Structure 1
Amino acid sequence: MGAFIQNSSIKDSYLNFNMFAKNIDLFFSLYIPQIIQNEFKDSYVVFAGGDDLFIIGQWQSTLDLARRIRAEFIDFVKSKELSISLGIALFKPSRPVNYLAHHLEELLKNSKNIDGKNSITLFNSSVKWSEYIEIFDELSTLMGDLGDDDKMAFFYRILDICDMSSRLQSKFSPQDALWRSKLNYSYNRNIKSKDENLLQSLNKNIAKSPKAVKMVVSELIYKRRENG
């Protein structure tokens, strides 16, 4: 945001700067809390103001809300130069709020440390929003349609396979290089539907962005455990 202000006409007058600052603050302090109050009643706003948000809520509602906030912010600013980064974590209800705040601040730093920011940190992985949303839209549909007969072991195996692919991107290992064959084997052993679109999607996305796949699959694991 600092770079955006510096390179725009906003800084040319106090009136422009004041209007810009007020609109940003209103988005976070009034507009988003209003959405939460009306549509995400399982979420609670601890703080909202300036360009910051601190929200606590039921895990699935909070993840849905995070994606909604990002979409609303893009529509609000109507500029590719401004973006929003988030840090999200799951905690047991007994954790004190000050611990949550400190831990989430570190996760937010992880998001902002990615070149160009515009990122999300979730399930201890950090990726660009564009990577995450693209893979979320694709895999949440394909994997969400899996039946009860399809084994949960496959979901957990994908997490291991994502780690193998991630390590392979920084250092070659013969063992990690076997991730595709392990994926195909686990898929054929555990998935009854034999949906080739799902297998092709996993192969493509684990090679391209294993961290984003791990984030999406981790959410699906929580969802299946809760529904089961």
Structure 2
Amino acid sequence: VGAHYASQLFVGEYHDSNRINELAEKSTGISRIAVCRMDVDDLGKAFISGFERPHAAAAEDQYKYVTISRTASFSRQMSRFFKYYINSILARVTKDALAVTIVYSGGDDVFLVGAWDHILEAAMRIQEDFQTYTCHTLHLSAGILLKNAKYPIRRSASEAAELEAFAKSHDGKNAVTIFEASAQQTYPWQIFQDKVINEKQNLLERFFANQEDAERGKAFLYRLLDLLRNSEQRINLARFAYLLARLEPKKNNPSYAMYAEFSKQMYQWYRNPTDRQQLITAIYIYVYQTRMKGDTDRA
């Protein structure tokens, strides 16, 4: 019938592998997959009243831009992001291609499966690009769940949806719930990226990169984690400070400056409830990244 009858059908189809075990094997550290569910916040409200001008004096000015054509265009542009642009967002090469597979992407939500650390990167990348795409007028909430590759994907999807719903219950939404459905593991996106990843996890990576005994470092982290989880016991502050002091090298040691920065920050974060919880999440992520096969699930 001729090429002019053809129509382009956009589909979110980025995939690294269709085998769950292959995705898990591409993880850094612990061999786990992550399931991510993301959804646009308050999209229904945006469709109903997004084009209204409530402060306009006259009724005709208030509803001047409320037209079928604008609503249809809005719907079309939302669909285009999740069915078309998302492919290039995930395919954008930094160091390595993301070991992520789109199960579903369209309308206003996303369902991803992949290597757990790649899913974290993918979720932050999608959220950041969506903010730019919508000129920071709309935002996403997400739930990210870690599971063994043999865990039924259908159950993982259902549990990840529970985490996503928990993120949407956060004040202001625009948040991510990671690992478990709890307020302690729910963060606004900017806080998660700036405070958990870029600040606390980054400090852990820089400090332990200079430690020769990796196993001793892991044991130290597990003890710190236990004290952080049980911070309501007042004696644990002294135990926390003692553990940090045991790591102190001699002052003429080249690593002393790094230790001084690390111990000072860790002590300050322990004393602040918000920083303390962010540090717990950062330790989870760091431990998972540095886990080797055969390690037990102590975290």
Q: Same fold (TM over 0.5)?
A: yes
Match of 1:13 among 39, 46, 67: 67
Closer, same or farther in 2 for the Cα pair 1:99/1:9, shift >3 Å?
A: same
Unaligned runs of 5+ in 2: 1-41, 53-64, 250-254
Assess, with a 3 A threshold, how the Cα gap between structure 1 residues 18 and 191 changes in structure 2: closer, same or farther: farther
Aligned to 1:100, the other structure's residue is in SS state helix
Q: Distance in 2 between the 1:33 and 1:129 partners?
A: 21
Per-residue deviation, 1:218: 0.7
Larger RCO (alpha carbons 8 Å, 6+ apart): 2
In the alignment, the residues of structure 1 paired with residue 248 and residue 138 of structure 2 have an alpha-carbon distance, to the nearest angstrom, of: 42
Q: Does structure 2 conserve the Cα–Cα contact (< 8 Å) formed by 1:85 and 1:118?
A: yes
State which of 83, 102, 105 in structure 2 corresponds to 1:45.
102
Equivalent residue, structure 2, for 1:103: 159
TM-score (norm 2): 0.65
Is the CA contact (8 Å cut-off) linking 2:98 and 2:122 kept in structure 1?
no
Deviation at 1:178, TM superposition (A): 4.0
State how far apart, in whole Å, the 2-side matches of 1:143 and 1:161 are. 17
Say if 2:184 is the partner of 1:120: no
* Structure 2 CA distance for aligned equivalents of residues 22 and 203 of structure 1: 51
Aligned residue pairs: how many?
218
- Asked if 2 retains the 8 angstrom alpha-carbon contact of 1:123 and 1:218, the reply is no
Structure 1 position 27 matched with structure 2 position 81: yes
Equivalent residues of 1:28, 1:51 under 8 A apart: yes
What's the Cα RMSD here? 2.5
Distance 1:205 1:7 in 2: 43
Specify the alignment match of 1:169 in structure 2. none
Question: How far does residue 5 in structure 1 lie from its aligned partner after superposition?
Answer: 4.0
- Bigger share in helix: 1
Number of the residue aligned with 2:147: 91
Query: Following TM superposition, by how much is the alpha carbon of 1:190 offset from its aligned partner in structure 2, in angstroms?
Result: 4.3
C-alpha distance 226-51 of structure 1, shift in aligned 2 (>3 A): farther
Between 31-40 and 93-102, report the one with greater CA deviation.
31-40
Hey, what's the Cα distance between the residues in 1 that align with 2:218 and 2:145?
22
8 Å Cα contact 1:118-1:128 kept in structure 2: yes
